[in-house]
Amino acid sequence: MSKQVYTFGGYLKDKFGEKVYKAPISISGFTCPNIDGTVARGGGCTFCENDSFSPSLGEVQELKGFHLNLESTENPHLEKQLLQVEKQFEVIASKSKREYGAKKFLAYFQSFTNTYAPFDTLKALYDKALSLDDVIGLSIGTRSDCVTDETLAYLAELNKTKEIWIEFGIQSIYDETLERINRGHDADNVKQLIIKSKKLGLNVCGHLIFGLPGEDKKMMLETAKKAYEWGIDSVKYHPLYVTKRTALANEYNKGEFEPISEELYLEVLLESIQMKPEHVSVQRITAGIDNDSLIAPDWCRDRNAQVRHINRELRTIGLKY
């Protein structure tokens, strides 16, 4: 019989005795220092089309065009943002309760860079999410170059009584790759923040992308190996796909970038899972987008087929997802 890959869901169930759901929240007014030009020119990572992460969550009309940043001292829109946390959570939680009988949630600050705001704003938003019924913790998606010591210390404090996760995009350990995708920080920056977060007792999830421009299988596997060594507790694996309105789309159209094949992705994924320390949970094994914005590769369109193919390969090594 195939052995189950250790999933994030499995980790949460073991810890809390029942299934815990991640409720994605997307706060208007947040951006990313790589999009607003603070850390790099060029409008962000070459593959980034941030609306594609969660188009259904929408923006609050009055907050359009308003962006917070770390230099701000005031936030005139805080009340609206707090309401947004409440409303978005309510919609997602009630659906999950109705459809799956969900009882416990992690509030997942997902879109853009969720530590890129004045500390008082962040504290208010995190506290608000944690005050909602059935929320047992947070998961905060961010960049490693964008977390102040003050914020990290606060999250560590919260982690004493709640389940607090911080998610960093590692993507690659190769600086030449990070430059090529206009990441705006180097690999050492991520390494140091992961180590620092772990020293404070925080739970860390690392995002890895396979198929980045210029990378071969050996490099992708080396990235996975190093990410485990740096101490991540959980991992999200993604294939790089090209969507419209991105710099990567231009590279692809000019023939300067060739997306990873499904065969190679499966090989790298399997080997990454095999070398993963047992305690590192898996939150995501693939990614894709099933709408008009996907340009290539076509195999990233059908997530069910991807998971089927992944499971077919996993079974050959006695595993399942």
32: contact with ligand SF4 by CB under 6 A: yes
In Å, how far are 11, 308, 310, 311, 315 from 1, measured between CA atoms?
Answer: 21, 17, 17, 13, 9
112: contact with ligand SF4 by CB under 6 A: yes
Instruction: Give kind and range of the element (H or E) at residue 196.
Output: helix 187-199
Interface residue with ligand SF4 among 50, 52, 69, 293 (CB under 6 A) is: 50
Per the CB < 8 A criterion, the answer to whether 128 and 102 are in contact is: no
Choose between 141 and 297: whose C-beta lies nearer to ligand SF4. Answer: 141
Piece of 5-13, 32-40, 64-72, 123-131 that binds ligand SF4 (CB under 6 A): 32-40
Report 154-173 residues binding ligand SF4 (CB under 6 A): 169
Piece of 28-36, 87-95, 241-249, 295-303 that binds ligand SF4 (CB under 6 A): 28-36
Choose between 7 and 50: whose C-beta lies nearer to ligand SF4. Answer: 50
Residue 183, helix vs strand vs coil:
coil
CA distance 79 to 216: 48
45: contact with ligand SF4 by CB under 6 A: yes
In the complex, least distance from residue 317 CB atom to ligand SF4, rounded to whole angstroms? 32
| 53 dihedral zone (left: phi>0; alpha: psi -120 to 50; beta) | alpha
3-class SS letters over 230-295: HCCCEEEEEECCEECCCHHHHHHHCCCCCCCCHHHHHHHHHHHHHHCCCCCEEEECCCCCCCCCEE
Six token digits for residue 23: 């409720």
Piece of 1-9, 43-51, 80-88, 267-275 that binds ligand SF4 (CB under 6 A): 43-51
Interface residue with ligand SF4 among 22, 104, 128, 143 (CB under 6 A) is: 143
Site for ligand SF4, rule CB under 6 A = 32, 34-35, 44-45, 48, 50, 112-113, 143, 169
